[in-house]
């Protein structure tokens, strides 16, 4: 019986060169934000957008999204009941209320309550699969 190998990243000398340059020159001085700004510009261009904003993690991205939407105290945000803590931490940072939902027949059902469109300020989707 032969081994089945895991697929790994395809790393060439080009990627190694860029990573080394970022490590050696991308922290301070004239090139401090070169790679961040390049990623943002390339990402925005790829998605046909004017701008993109790089964040250190998804929690920060969700926090900025909720803040930008004006979600705050008194608002309810629907979130999946099975999620990472960081996903709902952003809701708490905005002093909004998290309404956990279960999946039933492809729909989110908040805490056993009947959901009507417009009852909640936002719905935090998830990808499960």
* Per-domain residue ranges of the chain: 13-46, 58-123
CA distance 65 to 53: 11
Q: CA angle, 50 as apex, 48 and 55 as ends, to 5°?
A: 100
The tens-digit pLDDT sequence of the chain (129 residues) is 788 888 888 899 999 999 999 888 888 888 888 999 999 999 999 999 999 999 989 899 999 999 999 999 999 888 888 788 888 999 999 999 988 877 654 455 555 555 555 555 565 655 444
Q: According to the model, what pLDDT value does residue 129 have?
A: 43
Upper half-sphere CA count for residue 14 (Cβ side, 13 Å): 1
Nearest 10 degrees: Cα torsion 98, 101, 107, 109: -100
Of the candidates 71, 59, 68, 85, the one whose C-alpha atom is nearest the C-alpha of residue 120 is: 71
25 phi and psi angles, rounded to 5 deg: -125, -5
CA distance 96 to 26: 37
Tell me if 124 sits within 8 A of 78, measured CB to CB: yes
- Is the entire prediction scored with pTM above 0.75? no
């Amino acid at each position: 019986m032969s081994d089945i190998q895991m697929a790994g990243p395809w790393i060439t000398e080009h990627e190694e060169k860029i990573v080394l340059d970022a490590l050696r020159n991308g922290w301070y001085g004239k090139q401090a934000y070169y790679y961040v700004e390049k990623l943002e510009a390339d990402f925005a261009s790829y998605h046909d957008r004017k701008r993109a904003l790089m964040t250190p993690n998804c929690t920060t991205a969700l926090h900025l999204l909720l803040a930008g939407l004006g979600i705050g105290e008194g608002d309810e945000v629907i979130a999946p009941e099975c999620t990472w803590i960081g996903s709902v931490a952003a809701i708490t940072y905005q002093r909004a209320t998290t309404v956990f939902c279960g999946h039933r027949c492809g729909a989110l059902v908040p805490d056993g309550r009947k959901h009507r469109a417009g009852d909640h300020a936002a719905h935090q989707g998830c990808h499960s699969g």
